[in-house]
Amino acid sequence: MIDRYARPKMKRTWSDESKYDKWLAVELAVCEAWAEDGVIPESDIEKLRRASYDIDRLNQVLEITRHDMTAFLQSITDKLGPEGRWLHHGLTTSDVWDTATSLQLVESADLLDEEIGKLLDAIADRAREHKHTLMMGRTHGIHAEPITFGLKLALWWDEMRRNRERVAQARAEIAVGQISGPVGTHATVPPAIEQRVCQRLGLAAAPVSNQVIQRDRHARFVTTLAVVAASLEKFATEVRGLQRTEVREVEEPFGQGQTGSSSMPHKRNPELSERVCGLARLIRGHAVTALENVALWGERDISHSSAERIILPDSCLALDYTLDLFAGVVRNMKVYPDRMKQNLEITRGLLFSQRVMLALIEKGLSREDAYEILQANSARTWDEDLDFRALLHSDERVGHYLSAEALDELFDYGYYVRYVDEVFHRVGLD
């Protein structure tokens, strides 16, 4: 991921230094377990505990070996004596790499959970603020019936709460280690060693493995991040739609002196929300690659390896950045209630069509006849730019069932949002 979309904490998690620190942690945890079994003498384990890698030496050796793990190990053993022979004892590269990667993914999940929490707080605050802010609800992009902006945000909040649960579940599924030797048989490293190593590292031991931790776990993790990103794109797309000039009910933050267009000084483009959408697409693409990585040959091949060097860090970095970005949009976006009210009225009362239809049905008219009456008057409202309520007042068929007073009482915005408090209570946003 380019620095533009990388935040410090997540960047550190996926840095080379963090990776090698975790490799060393795994190697030393294995040594400790061997020492507990009496395989490594106490005098040697004392020296091994002070072991460290040398990044410059590692890169130097890598130029020759073309193998990350052997270069890493040599950068350590160069500074050790005979005790260095115990490093990597009974292990294969994947034992160390995959277990360390799990540590990185768990750490990433914790950072993502923190950012989801911040976004949830931002959405909750704005939802409560606009709990009763009336606006038009739209289906197919067309005016439907009134809602409140708070209800729209409550929907987002509930979805992000589910996403938080999904990330927690994906974290649990990836929080596994593997110390089982070249093909997972434990021939060179007993299950008891694996169990103690994983426990020391805060991971569960994979119940069975081959040479790698199975990639369905990684696919679950990345696809979960893709689901979270898809939600963010959904919310950001709504902000973009509501910011359109002809709508202008919501506007993402736009700083003093900020440039919208290099050629048109008046422009305030929803570029933050558009960036959210773009990065969400990137993460979804990585999810496809993660799924492709599940099917490896035999006990493993390395077709997944090159892809994972990109998709795992970049998915975590991109989502971390996007969560923070959109939280800022939510906290600082401008909401225009007056404009929302204006837009409610531009169809000259058509939004009340269903309520009038239901009232006619309740008075004894068939559904089909009621629908035909309302549809015909709706068409005239659309086509002739007339007032819907006035048309209904002049329609004898409506007047036969509804008095003028009864008809006027139906044209009440409050009818549509009378359960808002109940919905907020049900969702947990009281």
pLDDT for 268? 83
End residue of a domain, out of 341, 361, 390: 341
CB 283 within 8 A of CB 226: yes
Give the structural domain span for 394: 350-410
Q: Any idea which residue has 């019936």 for tokens?
A: 145
Instruction: Say if residue 154 is in the same domain as residue 287.
Output: yes
Instruction: Give the active site residues.
Output: 140, 261
CB 157 within 8 A of CB 427: yes
Instruction: Say if residue 225 is in the same domain as residue 186.
Output: yes
Query: Does residue 257 fall inside a structural domain?
Result: no
Instruction: Say if residue 364 is in the same domain as residue 243.
Output: no
Task: Classify each residue of 146-174 as buried b or exposed e, where b means 16 or more C-beta atoms within 10 Å of its C-beta.
Answer: bbbbbbbbbbbbbbbbebbebbbebbebb
Query: Does residue 415 fall inside a structural domain?
Result: no
End residue of a domain, out of 317, 341, 365: 341
Instruction: Say if residue 292 is in the same domain as residue 361.
Output: no
Helix/strand/coil percent split, the chain, to 5: 65, 5, 30
Query: Does residue 173 fall inside a structural domain?
Result: yes
- Number of domains within the chain: 2
Query: Token pair for residue 281?
Result: 């697409």
pLDDT for 322? 98
CATH number of the domain where residue 362 is located: 1.10.40.30
CB 60 within 8 A of CB 96: no
Q: What is the pTM of this model?
A: 0.94
pLDDT for 261? 62
CB 229 within 8 A of CB 280: yes
Query: Token pair for residue 253?
Result: 């933050």
Residue among 158, 153, 123, 151 nearest 419 (CA) = 151
Instruction: Say if residue 220 is in the same domain as residue 362.
Output: no
In a structure prediction context, what are the per-residue pLDDT tens digits for the chain, which is 430 residues long? Answer: 789 999 999 999 999 999 999 999 999 999 999 999 999 999 999 999 999 999 999 999 999 999 999 999 999 999 999 999 999 999 999 999 999 999 999 999 999 999 999 999 999 999 999 999 999 999 999 999 999 999 999 999 999 999 999 999 999 999 999 999 999 999 999 999 999 999 999 999 999 999 999 999 999 999 999 999 999 999 999 999 999 999 999 999 877 767 666 677 777 889 999 999 999 999 999 999 999 999 999 988 888 989 999 999 999 999 999 999 999 999 999 999 999 999 999 999 999 999 999 999 999 999 999 999 999 999 999 999 999 999 999 999 999 999 999 999 999 999 999 999 999 999 999 8
3-state secondary structure of 139: strand
Query: Does residue 99 fall inside a structural domain?
Result: yes
First and final C-alpha spacing in the chain: 40
Query: Does residue 424 fall inside a structural domain?
Result: no
Query: Token pair for residue 276?
Result: 């959210």
Q: Any idea which residue has 């919501």 for tokens?
A: 250
Instruction: Say if residue 336 is in the same domain as residue 357.
Output: no
Instruction: Say if residue 355 is in the same domain as residue 388.
Output: yes
The CA-based diameter of the chain, rounded to the nearest angstrom, is 103
End residue of a domain, out of 304, 320, 341: 341
Instruction: Say if residue 308 is in the same domain as residue 372.
Output: no
**Nearest-angstrom CA–CA distance, 35 and 30:** 9
Residue among 78, 80, 65, 62 nearest 16 (CA) = 62
Instruction: Say if residue 78 is in the same domain as residue 120.
Output: yes
**Nearest-angstrom CA–CA distance, 73 and 70:** 5
- The set of residues, in sequence order, having a beta carbon less than 8 Å from that of 187 and lying 6+ positions away, is 181
Query: Does residue 399 fall inside a structural domain?
Result: yes
3-state secondary structure of 113: helix
Residue 139 φ/ψ, nearest 5 degrees: -125, 135
CB 150 within 8 A of CB 130: yes
Instruction: Say if residue 375 is in the same domain as residue 234.
Output: no
pLDDT for 217? 97
CATH number of the domain where residue 83 is located: 1.20.200.10
Query: Does residue 385 fall inside a structural domain?
Result: yes
Instruction: Say if residue 326 is in the same domain as residue 204.
Output: yes
**Nearest-angstrom CA–CA distance, 419 and 328:** 29
- Amino acid at position 174, single letter: I
Query: Does residue 152 fall inside a structural domain?
Result: yes
Instruction: Say if residue 110 is in the same domain as residue 246.
Output: yes
DSSP secondary structure code for residue 206 in this structure? P
